[in-house]
Structure 1
Amino acid sequence: MRASRLVSLLLLLQTRGRLTAQELATELEVSIRTVYRDVDALHAAGIPLYGSAGPAGGYQLLGGYRSKLTGLTSDEAESLFLMPGPAAELGLGSVVAAAQLKMVAALPEELRDRAGRISSRFHLDTPGWYDSDQTPHLAAVAGSVWNQRVIDVRYRRWKTPREVTRTLRPYGVVLKAGRWYLVAHGSTTVSTYRVSAILDLEVSTETFDRPDFDLVAYWKSYVEEFLSWRLRGTATVALSPRGMERMPDILSTEAVRAIEETGEPGERPLWTRAVIPVESPSHTVSDLLRMGADIEVIEPPELRQLFAETTSELARLYA
């Protein structure tokens, strides 16, 4: 991870003084070219780093500069204990625990007390209540991202053919709503893969040079495109008073927001009529059936017909 490497480079210069690019590359197990890029990044961050050429040259920090953890604010110190769960899923639990111990030991006493309190008062549990997503290959995926290793996967997807094989160059991992996703370059383009859908994975000995890839910008664009593609239709529905109470716990955020914005009195007394965004008919039936008899689909006609057929089959099954 580059952030960790930059910190290591800075600490090496703090503890050893002047070091050449070759010495830094050897210590960090990277190329000299990578050291040059990292030094430029530290310069851009305002670190007073000086480089000189010649046999006695090298890099050193000016003016006795030292990066001190005592510069942490109280909020920053408290946040040290908020992310152990996801780190453990990535196989970094022990590493994070060791880092937390070292950082807390370096904090002033007043900040140390506040940092220690947060773990007893706040706990981050990322998976959803009904989420049984299993990610046995997550650690291997994360390792391939850190080490820039090509991976060969057998993957299960939603369309036919259901199982495919892919050779991927992994660029990053994302935790979204309790589920892990891999962002990787395949044969032609960058795509997103759900880690739990990876059936088999083999890490290659082949490495690759990671481009200047903005994971945050990619994911934001991906989510926006996914939402615009997913909610490609609308449906008019009516909800009972009990349905209006239940909907925030059952329906999607988009549907709840639409009901609040478009809701008006329905034909039945006390019922609410609204227009909501929907996915494909099959997905919509599955989602709205969780509301039971507290919701009625009014239109489009084909969706209403599909509901009638589905509920008729259920009635026959339980008659």
Structure 2
Amino acid sequence: MANTYNFNAGPGALPAEVLQEAQEELRNYQGIGASILEISHRSKAYEGIHYEAQQLIKEMMGLSSDYEVLFLYGGASLQFSMVPINFLTEGKIAGYVHCGTWSGKAWQEAQKIGQTLVLASGEKQSYKQMPDLSNLNIPKEMAYVHLTSNETIDGIQCRSFPDTGHVPLIVDMSSDILSRPIEASRFSLIYAGAQKNLGPAGVTIVIVRRSLLERVPETIPGILSYRTHVNHHSLYSTPPVFSVYMVNLMLRWIVNQGGVQGMAVRNQQKAELLYHVLDNSGGFYKGLAYKDSRSMMNVTFRASSPEMENKLLVELEQEGFMGLKGHRDAGHFRASIYNAVPYEHCKALADFLTEFQKRNG
């Protein structure tokens, strides 16, 4: 594995230290005589993991007791439906910022539940730039405003978040949660699939302000109600035990790396390293995202021609670079440099791209 560089977009890389710890504990978790894969979600061993992970998330995001942290299932895709099922009630309108593929999917699901309105769109820029969020026109009957903080496919990211006043602000942070400091108290609900920055696939983190639960109708199925999961501390049904365990290991690792601020410094360094190669290639490589919207999580680019791209992809794979082929709907290159991706791997990629240009430019 020493010569493998993981840039997969999700499930993404995990730290070697985290994988090693999980391996060592897999057959006998902390001497209890059973694997973490086998124990009850009602056991003291699992409850310790569960509540520690919730507390670490709250501490790292600076959240007060007004917020609850949930561990759910179904990925962000289920949240696309759960959010409007819980909050898009009769007579209300849901506002969406349409800035790319994933925000578009969230908006499409909400349309099945009730009335929606696109408050801002990046369509004119082919979703290569975040729309202006500084002066959103938010009607008083709006149930909530929804946005996606980082769009993985074209590689754009919110630099700042809008002021929505009394209207709840809801955000999909699946691809950049805990990658940089944010003022989390500005949001009424945050959700994120864990498989990019916080662990493996199988668990979705939902952070919800308690006062928002007052809006949840009593008529929706219990399994789809945020109130149900809050009242049962995310133990209403069997949670994804192993995935939560891995998230907890990942959270401890982030703390040991300097917390969210430490992640932000590392992620900025990694992104700048790769963007420098693109910007100084004389057109041999071309970054896809507008510079004012570039993501620190997903660096997207093209090479000088389709033939050159095919050659580059073959050589990258031969040299052990994984996951650099862009999304199937886009076809470009994408280096996903989430929290666990080491700077050294980004340096290896930057050096390879530079050397490839010298041979082929």
Q: Which is helix-richer, 1 or 2? A: 1
Which of 1 and 2 has higher RCO (CA within 8 Å, sep 6+)? Answer: 2
Alignment TM-score, normalising by the size of structure 2: 0.20
Q: Which is strand-richer, 1 or 2? A: 1
Which of the two has higher C-alpha Rg?
1
Alignment TM-score, normalising by the size of structure 1: 0.22
